[in-house]
Copies of this chain bind each other. A is one copy, B any other.
């Protein structure tokens, strides 16, 4: 089957990330999409951080959206104009569109979607909200059985980084903002982020798809994090709360609350523990209850992940027979690969060991020698007092990663020691980092 031809607008952070991901994972992606995805041409100015061999790059985006060979236009230039005209032209030319442009969708989405519906085309915008988190898909397709009661999101990584640093290190807003700018987390002009406007763009979109209401950015109440002091962060902590910049959309009997502002959240809530530049969206549905979606809300490849997901969605719709648009097992049936499943003995993991040892000299030396013989490194040792009335004492060890078969052999030798009570308790350990 012919490749699908992408016309890419923009080779900035997300554009270059998209090129890199599409190249690196080309095989994996076409195994899922059922068709090769080709970046046919691109439009950009300046320099870019990706390999554009075989990709003709022009400075004029309209050349791309007017090219009859292009199937899908991917708009990653941001801002309202010329992005809006480029997208409307692409739609007028019968091309599907994928966009990461939250400001554009929040403010002109109603007009763009009307044009797309008129033309029978898709406009996909997963990367516009919360970067790589598939939250649009979750709300629009995953929770369709629910009456959504509310949506609450940490949807600006810069603000969350600043608030996290203020709490963790007891620093002031201005100092952290300067560091964030130096590190590239915050823009040179951080207004959109710290004043809550970026969050409001995203909340506009979330509220619309949660409740089935038009996009209405101009009705959101917006308050940024500029007024949050170190003192407030500390007092909140003392009261067992965390301060987060929250975008909140709630359905009430009177209407819909739409608001972005610094918010105290009880520290025991999962979302209160979303730290640094990470994003999370908490959705309350009447049937499912609370569900939470967490991940990187910005950055080159996380956002590219959402861009590519939208491209694959379009390609699957274009390509598959309608009864079977998404393959049952995610990959096309002829592309399922028979990678071997490893036996547990071949697995590499770390371990928690609990030994019951006689309280006399040399026992620990025997145990550590056995572990060393099997190339197993010890990460931590915890030696406890014997339980009342017992002469054996518990020794707890955390090891570094080793193959399960080495660990089993070592444990068998340890259990053979006269001064050790059988069995040695073994629990695997994963850092999941």
Residues of A within 8 A of B (CB): 17, 21-22, 24-25, 28-29, 31-33, 96, 109, 113-114, 116-117, 120-123, 126, 131-134, 137-147, 152, 208-216, 219-221, 227-229, 231-232, 235-236, 238-239, 241, 243, 246, 248, 251-252, 254-259, 261-266, 269-271, 273-274, 282, 285-296, 301-302, 304-309, 311-313, 317-318, 321-331, 333, 335-344, 346-348, 352, 354, 380, 382, 384, 394, 396, 398, 425, 427-433
- By the criterion CB–CB under 8 Å, are B259 and A347 in contact? yes
- By the criterion CB–CB under 8 Å, are A141 and B147 in contact? no
Complex contacts, A238 vs chain B, CB 8 Å: 382
Question: In the complex, A428→B262 CA distance in Å?
Answer: 7
- By the criterion CB–CB under 8 Å, are A335 and B295 in contact? no
Closest beta carbon of chain B to A384's beta carbon, Å: 8
Question: In the complex, A282→B294 CA distance in Å?
Answer: 9
Contact A340 B254, CB 8 Å, known A292-B292, A425-B232: yes
Contact A427 B295, CB 8 Å, known A138-B134, A252-B342: no
- By the criterion CB–CB under 8 Å, are A122 and B324 in contact? yes
Residue of B nearest to A352 (CB): B264
Complex copy number for this chain: 2
Complex contacts, A214 vs chain B, CB 8 Å: 329, 336, 338
- By the criterion CB–CB under 8 Å, are A429 and B256 in contact? no
- By the criterion CB–CB under 8 Å, are A285 and B265 in contact? no
Complex contacts, A290 vs chain B, CB 8 Å: 294-296, 432
Leading 7 A-B pairs by shortest Cβ distance: A134-B142, A145-B308, A212-B331, A291-B295, A132-B288, A255-B340, A288-B305
Residue of B nearest to A255 (CB): B340
Complex contacts, A429 vs chain B, CB 8 Å: 241, 263-265
Question: In the complex, A352→B239 CA distance in Å?
Answer: 10
- By the criterion CB–CB under 8 Å, are B432 and A342 in contact? no
- By the criterion CB–CB under 8 Å, are A25 and B382 in contact? no
Question: In the complex, A401→B432 CA distance in Å?
Answer: 39
